[in-house]
Amino acid sequence: MNFKCDKCGKPATVYLTEITNGQKVEKHLCEQCAIEEGVTVKAGNVSIVQLLEDFILQSPPAAISDKACDVCGLTFAEFRKQGLLGCPNDYEAFSEMLESLLSRAHEGATQHIGKVPAKAGEDQKKMNRILRLRSELRVAVSAEDYERAATMRDEIRSLEES
């Protein structure tokens, strides 16, 4: 069934159902009239790839670009360049910058709701520890603290083998 806009008679693309004083009121509006009434019109079929490209191409302030994850060492500028996060902790490290992107990508939701395998808890802790050690290893090598670097290298190997 093709409805016409209640205001201007053009083909309706926005359909609203409101309950006012216990009465159901249906509205059929074209996109322009919906915008004029303050109804947010979602762009249809915008791909996650397009959202990421738009997000990555925006220029963030320098203070945001320099922000880095304390687990894997990835900076926000590196994320924007690569388009990939380095570890699960990056969602927390860059949360304020990622929130608008995730909200747009998930139609207003900013948190994943779903099942997590029971075994993932310990595996995730081990992965975070390895990532944190790798970051510290890079710092130790650049500071030429080779004894500390060797200790971290051995601990990383031990964790990866277990």
For residue 1, the model assigns a pLDDT of 61
The pLDDT confidence band at residue 116, using thresholds 50, 70 and 90, is very low
What is the domain partition of the chain in residue ranges? 1-41, 48-105, 120-161
Give the list of residues 6+ apart from residue 157 with CB closer than 8 angstroms, or none. Answer: none
* pLDDT tens column, 124-159: 778 878 888 888 888 889 889 999 999 999 999 998
Q: Are 87 and 126 in contact (CB under 8 A)?
A: no
Give the least confident one: 25-39, 69-83, 104-118: 104-118
Determine phi and psi for 148, rounding to 5 degrees.
Answer: -65, -40
Q: What is the pLDDT of residue 42?
A: 57
Q: For the chain, what percent of residues have pLDDT higher than 70?
A: 70
